[in-house]
Amino acid sequence: STPEKPVLLNNIADSEAFVSGAEVAVIGFFQDPQSPEAEQFRLAAGQIAEVPFGLSSSAAVLSHYGASANTVALFRRVDNDRRDLDMNNRDVDAKKLTRFVRMNELRLVTEYDPVTAIGVMQSSLELNLLLITDKMSPKHPERMRKFRAAAELYKGKILFILLDTNLESNERVVSYFQLKKSQLPALAIFHTPDDEHDVLTLDEISIERVQDFCNRFLQ
């Protein structure tokens, strides 16, 4: 049985534990938990299974987060960032709220696609590390495991991104780094303010190789 969504957060301690317990967490701050806005929030919560949703109507919690009523806040651990959406606007419904979450839910490793691209571009992290690879490859789960482990080491410094070469919309990115299919998988690191970048083609991924590549670029 799935836990009830959203989780009711009645005090500051519960709210803080809720936020710190997930890579991405969403809290709806509503004075009236039965309002039409809160109803749309519940609908969206039901549609996004893998992101925890909490709801609070505690004045202390709202004040702790400096949130006004009918605000939805998305918290992400990867760059310690928070994004707010004002639900007082009449045309914000479950569909727009779902898009807001999908756009901003950056994780330790974020899969790049037309929707997450917006969140990636708005991230406060100026360094992006891309793993350009074929998700259909039998080696993919092991590559991801190592890439993820490396991502833990650079939390708050580098945004780790998975770029699946099977997605047609990603072809432009692959060609930007002047990579051919035969050269993949590859790592590409990118510094957004000045477009400085470096590319490393590799047969196999290891945590050490990722670290070495990142550290060389950082130096």
Tens digit of each residue's pLDDT (9 = 90 or more) over 31-90: 999 999 999 999 999 999 899 999 999 999 999 999 999 999 999 999 889 999 999 877
| CA end-to-end distance (rounded Å), the chain | 49
DSSP, res 3: P
Residue pair 123/108 in contact (Cβ under 8 Å)? The answer is no
Spatial neighbors of 204 by CB under 8 A, at least 6 apart, are: 139, 143
DSSP class of residue 51 equals S
| 145 Cβ neighbours under 8 A, 6+ residues apart | none
Do 7-104 and 109-218 share a fold?
Answer: yes
User: Which of 3.40.30.10, 3.30.360.10, 3.30.950.10, 1.10.10.410 would CATH assign to domain 109-218?
Assistant: 3.40.30.10
Average pLDDT over residues 187-203: 95
Binned at pLDDT 50, 70 and 90, residue 3 comes out as low
Sequence ranges of the domains in the chain: 7-104, 109-218
The rounded mean pLDDT for the chain is 94
- Residue 1's pLDDT is 43
Q: What is the pLDDT of residue 91?
A: 82
Cβ pair 147, 205 in contact under 8 A? yes
Q: Rounded to 10 degrees, what is the CA torsion of 26, 21, 107, 150?
A: 170
Q: What CA–CA distance (Å, rounded) separates 85 from 9?
A: 19
**Average pLDDT rounded to a whole number, residues 170-187:** 94
Q: In this predicted model, what pLDDT tens digit does every residue of 110-134 receive, in sequence order?
A: 999 988 998 898 898 999 999 999 9
Is the per-residue pLDDT at 136 higher than 60?
A: yes
What confidence tens digit (pLDDT) does each residue in 153-173 have? 999 999 999 999 999 999 999
User: Are the beta carbons of 94 and 37 closer than 8 angstroms?
Assistant: no
Tokens of 170: 């990603």
Q: For 7-104, which CATH class?
A: alpha beta
pLDDT-above-70 percentage for the chain? 99
Q: Which residues pair with 163 in a beta bridge?
A: 132
